[in-house]
Amino acid sequence: MIRLYLKYLVDEPDLARWDQQIGDLVRAAHAGEDVDGRLRAVFARDPEVQAWVADTLSHPDLLPRDIADQLTTRSESPDGDRLGARLQIYTCPVSQCVKWPRLYPSEVVPRCPDHHEVLVEVFPR
């Protein structure tokens, strides 16, 4: 999930490097390698990224804090796009390697950073 949020967490010049490193480790994990330590080391390079990961992993639904907070308050975006009554979770149709929560109907469902397929809904709530 973090790869879809990197643009909010790291500076633009570093975005491609972060995405490449995390993507390489995700692919290695899918191939059976133990990458936990290496992934933690990548996240530890930036306190904001490390905090985002810790907050997300501590949520019962594995949601980033800002999304969990929006679900709790049922806030409205500046353009009036009302948060729906249910949370929609999308994943990669190829290998479920990414999970993405859609908060607003106007949000365009992204593509998987690895497989370039549009994510598909797997969890309405």
Q: What is the b/e burial string over 41-56, where b = at least 16 CB atoms within 10 angstroms of the residue's CB?
A: ebbeebeebeebbeeb
Q: Residue 75 — pLDDT band, cuts 50, 70, 90?
A: very low
Cα separation, 81 vs 49, whole angstroms:
28
Name which residue leads in pLDDT, 116 or 80: 116
> According to the model, what pLDDT value does residue 125 have?
52
**What pLDDT, in 10s, does the model give residues 76-86?**
445 555 544 56
14-18, 21-25, 75-79: least confident range? 75-79
Place of tokens 């992204």: 110
Q: Does this model's pTM top 0.85?
A: no
Is residue 6 over pLDDT 70? yes
**What pLDDT, in 10s, does the model give residues 46-69?**
999 999 999 988 888 777 887 777
> According to the model, what pLDDT value does residue 118 have?
95
> Is the separation of the CB atoms in 5 and 64 below 8 Å?
yes
Question: Which H/E stretch holds residue 55?
Answer: helix 47-58
Closest to 119 in 3D by CA, of 86, 97, 104: 97
Is residue 71 over pLDDT 90? no
> Is the separation of the CB atoms in 87 and 49 below 8 Å?
no
